Structure 1
Amino acid sequence: MTTSISNSNLTAQIKHLGAELFSLKNKQNKEYIWEGNPTFWGKHSPILFPIIGSLKNNSYIYNEKEYELNRHGFAREMEFELIKKTEESATFSLFSTLETKKIYPFDFELQICYSLKNNKLNIDYKVINKNEITMPFAIGAHPAFALPGNFNDYSLEFQQDETLKYYLLEEGLISNSTNELQLYNSQLGLTYQLFEKDALVFKTLKSKTITILKNANPILKVNFTDFPNLGIWTVVNAPFLCIEPWFGYSDTLNEYDDFSKKEGIQLLKKNETFESNYSIEIF
């Protein structure tokens, strides 16, 4: 099943499977979301929960018990329920089940709300801890933006003119090795060479907005004020780019004793609610 929302500027379409945004078009019918061609990558904008990236050996320890959990978690593969709908907004909900508790032993509700306002799509996350104990989790976005034509015609404009320190991945895990990229007038030209060793992972970033430019003309802006971490990724020779606001990231090569002590993990106290949002602004 799918749900559509629209206003005078934009139309968005969301799959109930994974509550995944798969289309965002302007009134000229220009598509901004990657089509999901499986030759390169068969997703559009999956929701990452309750982990981001990979765990060592796809497993973790919690309260001295081992659990298996695949890359990016299970929310993206589960059917969400549409719980509220207006012409310009749609809210989806996912509850823990007996099956999810076998791999993530917590009661939760995850809500995703998509809403349009003017030329902007807002995506709101809500994680509700329904346990009497603290619940560790990670949550993140993975939107892929369509970049037709010559990839080298595109660049990224960061909110601040900063030196970008990013972490390298080793077999999907965060290594201790880092590289730096120097911005010029707050901009970074895009080349596939940047992504030959997988994603660029930023644990800290001063900028909280990134604008995609084509031949110096702005196309769209991702606003992620709430999010402490970020990934930027594409597949070499693929006509898309992912700008991924995160709360958390893959396991590091360093050891940790318990899932609740994992680097970057969020700790939500009993019966409390976590809320965050990011937005996609179209020019």
Structure 2
Amino acid sequence: MPTITRIANEFLAVEISSLGAEMQSATTRDGAGWLWNGDAAFWTGRSPVLFPIVGKAPDDTLLIDGAPYPMAQHGFARRREFTLDDAAATACRYVLEASDETRAAYPFDFRLAVAHSLDGPALTVAAEVENRGETPMPFGCGFHPAFRWPLPGAQGKPHAVILDNAGEPERQPLEKGLLSQDRTTSPFQAGRLTLAQDLFEDDALVFPEGAGNGLTYAAEGGPSLTFHFENLPNLALWTKPGAPFLCVEPWHGTAALYEGPHELKDRPYTTLLGPGEHTRFAFTVIFPT
């Protein structure tokens, strides 16, 4: 059975599961819970870490140097048991390392460390990837946290996502779960997108570029969550129509292109990490005080 690690300070308490190193709850000192609760009637995820791919592969099969490997949507890390590597009052780190089982789907020697840390009302979630093999390692990495919609105390209020850069990034639709070759006009106006359930009738809103390094998810006249992204150039927003959550998903890597190349290294925004190299991806969310 998965184990739960709790970190906390005077502003915030966060629980993280060893299964997928996935955050399970985020509660402010007033008792308000901000993270989606994983209700199976809609979606059992809460805040999965996506590795070694983001999104889908054609027929759930990756090609790596021409050889096929089975790979479910968003990769296998979210379904793997991690090892608790370090824990303190306000921070913890879980680690997943390559095994015979992972190599059957992804033939690389990797180390994935996922750290959660608190600094005042801010939570940072970081993924550090190391290539321990002798050949370049292609992969995608991203985050999929789901927050309540409406936000606590904001029932009946309009909600919006506001980009720090006031951008109007083009949307790239999904076709059968894969990224379309085409892009459509941005739903943002001067960096603002007023949320409505019908926006998600055709799956997630994916913005491969132009969304910037930060945003605010806010209720009009109510609470807000402020996000900052590190080494995560792609953004998606998603919910299941009718579900009471919004996923704010910063990525480095996307689904494969529809009718595009099947090789992992050729997927959009794939990272190619050299032998012995490591890299980091992170997001920070600041909660109301």
> Normalised by the size of structure 1, how large is the TM-score?
0.96
The 1-side partners of 2:197 and 2:134 are apart by 47
Residue in structure 2 matching 1:208, options 210, 213, 223: 213
* Pair 1:257–1:160, CA change in 2 (3 A): closer
Residues 256, 262 of structure 2: 8 Å contact kept: no
Letter of the 1:252 counterpart: L
Alignment-derived partner of residue 250 in structure 1: 255
Alignment-derived partner of residue 188 in structure 1: 193
Deviation of 1:206 (Å): 4.2
Question: Any idea what the Cα deviations from partners look like across 1:156-190, whole Å, max 9, x if unmatched?
Answer: 11102222311111110001232223544532110
Secondary structure, aligned partner of 1:238? coil
Alignment-derived partner of residue 61 in structure 1: 63
Residue in structure 2 matching 1:131, options 130, 133, 137: 133
Letter of the 1:223 counterpart: H
Identity across the alignment (%): 32
RMSD: 1.5
The 1-side partners of 2:21 and 2:81 are apart by 7
Alignment-derived partner of residue 29 in structure 2: 27
Residues 211, 218 of structure 1: 8 Å contact kept: no
Secondary structure, aligned partner of 1:43? coil
Question: Any idea what the Cα deviations from partners look like across 1:81-106, whole Å, max 9, x if unmatched?
Answer: 11111100000000111011011001
Runs of 4+ in 1 over 3 A off after TM superposition: 148-152, 182-186
Secondary structure, aligned partner of 2:199? helix
The 1-side partners of 2:196 and 2:157 are apart by 6
Alignment-derived partner of residue 171 in structure 2: 166
Alignment-derived partner of residue 6 in structure 2: 4
The 2-side partners of 1:68 and 1:271 are apart by 26
The 1-side partners of 2:6 and 2:72 are apart by 30
* Pair 1:206–1:156, CA change in 2 (3 A): closer
Residues 222, 243 of structure 1: 8 Å contact kept: no
The 2-side partners of 1:142 and 1:257 are apart by 23
- Aligned residue runs from structure 1 range 213-232, under 5 A: 213-232=218-237
Letter of the 1:34 counterpart: W
Deviation of 1:153 (Å): 1.8
> Normalised by the size of structure 2, how large is the TM-score?
0.94
Residues 213, 220 of structure 1: 8 Å contact kept: yes
Question: Any idea what the Cα deviations from partners look like across 1:88-147, whole Å, max 9, x if unmatched?
Answer: 000000011101101100111100110000110011110010101100011000000012
Secondary structure, aligned partner of 2:33? coil
The 1-side partners of 2:237 and 2:187 are apart by 16
Residue in structure 1 matching 2:182, options 166, 177, 181: 177
The 1-side partners of 2:221 and 2:240 are apart by 23
Alignment-derived partner of residue 75 in structure 2: 73
Tell me whether 1:281 sits opposite 2:286 in the alignment.
yes
Alignment-derived partner of residue 246 in structure 2: 241
Tell me whether 1:38 sits opposite 2:40 in the alignment.
yes
The 2-side partners of 1:151 and 1:224 are apart by 29
Runs of at least 5 residues in structure 1 that lack an aligned partner in the other structure: none
